[in-house]
Amino acid sequence: MTRHDGQSAERSVHDASRLLERLLLAAELGGRTGRVIEMLVLRALAHQTLGTPSAALATLERAVILAEPEGYVRVFADEGPPMVSLLRAAAKQGIRPDYVRGLLAAVSTTEHGSPREQALIEPLSERELDVLRLLATDLDGPAIARELMVSLNTLRTHTKNIYAKLAVTSRRAAVHRAADLDLEPKARSRQP
């Protein structure tokens, strides 16, 4: 690449960054959180490309904070290797450690195929898979506890562990993440 090509590429990244800023503002004003997260992810990558790591990390942190409650994963995972270095830096900074760990696992899964064992840093236990299978049903917490013959507190502990391992914060997000990771068929195969 010639020097002129390098300057042209940098100018393109600057132009894209300005466009992203305008799109981000419009998404924020419109209350479109999903789009805001997408724009923030792209801006973080643009800052990384421009050699401004602190701005990249600050922008990524904002995206992660917005994404975590709804369990967004794909918007990060689809960015591949460039996102890995940003997420590793976020992990070193202690930014939402459980969620960032899950995002790192998701990014490496999309890079290397999607075997279940690779998708999670810490795999779900047999019992957690049983709980996860029942979380996908219409049963409420007490009914799930009765079905598994455990106390409600034990069920809550299993559920909390599942959420941490899947990097999600809600039952719905756990079920969606499990489907993305193809965990549900594995859990069903263990039923008598």
Q: Encode pLDDT of 97-153 as tens digits.
A: 989 988 888 776 555 444 344 356 678 888 989 999 999 999 999 999 999 999 999
Check if the beta carbon of residue 94 is closer than 8 Å to that of residue 56: no
Report the Cα 51 to chain-centroid distance in Å: 24
pLDDT of residue 115: 39
> What's the N-to-C CA distance of the chain in angstroms?
62
Token code pair at residue 20: 């992203």
- Measured CA to CA, the distance from residue 79 to residue 168 in angstroms comes to 19
Is 77 in contact with 107 (CB distance < 8 Å)? yes
pLDDT at 4 over 70: no
Question: Of the given ranges (76-80, 171-175, 187-191), which has the lowest mean pLDDT?
Answer: 187-191
Q: Residue 29 to residues 24, 25, 33, 64, 123: CA-CA distances in angstroms?
A: 9, 6, 10, 19, 40
Provide the pLDDT for residue 61: 96
Rg, C-alpha atoms of the chain: 19
Average pLDDT over residues 161-189: 75
Q: Judge whether residue 17 has pLDDT over 50.
A: yes
Residue from 76, 115, 108 nearest 95 by CA:
76
